[in-house]
Amino acid sequence: MTNNPFINALAAAGYISLLATAVFTMPKYITDNELGMMAPILFLSLFVISAAIMGYLFVYPPALLILEGHKAEGAKLFLLTVLSFALIIIATLLAWFILRSVLGGVV
């Protein structure tokens, strides 16, 4: 990815948002009865793919820096990415709580 921790965290938050939206709307189109044995296979496959994507976004850029001998920069990039991700999640939750209170629990 990039060496910009905010872009990496934003990409992770975007991926999670898209995935959550798909999982939330999927029961309208496919039920568990239709999936049968494919449900756990799909779940585990999605878990592995998600772990790989998150590893690519959070770990790969700092690991490259560390392998190049820039240990301090690698550690700083990792911590700033995690901090940026936490701030994005907190801001999202705060916005949701505010909208929920303003709109009377509709959101």
Tokens 């939330």 belong to 24
Q: Which residues contact 102 (CB under 8 A, 6 or more apart)?
A: none
What does the domain layout of the chain look like in residue ranges? 5-103
Q: What is the per-residue pLDDT across 55-97, written as a single tens digit (0 to 9) for each?
A: 999 999 999 999 999 999 999 999 999 999 999 999 999 999 9
Segment 44-54, tens digit of pLDDT: 999 999 999 99
This prediction's pTM: 0.83
Q: Is 61 helix (H, G, I), strand (E, B) or coil?
A: helix
- Enumerate long-range contacts of 52-59, CB under 8 Å, 24 or more apart: 53/12, 53/15, 54/12, 54/15, 56/1, 57/1, 57/8, 57/9, 57/11, 57/12, 57/15, 57/81, 58/8, 58/12, 58/82, 58/85
Q: Is the pLDDT of residue 30 over 90?
A: no
pLDDT digits (tens, 9 = 90+) for 33-44: 777 888 889 889
Q: What are phi and psi of 19, to 5 degrees?
A: -65, -45
